[in-house]
Copies of this chain bind each other. A is one copy, B any other.
Amino acid sequence: MQRVSNCILRKNDQVLLLKKPSRGWWVAPGGKMELRESILESAVREYKEETGISLNNPRLKGIFTFVIENKGSVVKEWMMFTFKATEFSGDLLEQSPEGDLAWVPVNAIPNLPMAGGDYMIFDHVLNKDSLIYGTFTYNENMDLLSSNLEAEGELIKKTKG
Contact = CB atoms under 8 A, between A and B. Distances in A.
Taken together, the copies of this chain in the complex come to 2
Contacts of A74: 35-36
Contact-residue size bin, chain A (C-beta under 8 Å from the other chain) = 20 to 34
Chain A interface main SS type? strand
A67 B57 CA distance: 25
A150 B64 CA distance: 21
Interface stretch (A37-45, A104-112, A119-127): A37-45
Interface of A: 1, 3, 33, 35-41, 57, 59-60, 63-65, 67, 74, 77, 79, 81, 131, 133-135, 137, 148, 150, 152-153
13 contacts: A36-B67, A36-B135, A36-B137, A37-B135, A38-B63, A39-B65, A39-B133, A41-B135, A60-B60, A60-B131, A60-B133, A60-B152, A63-B63
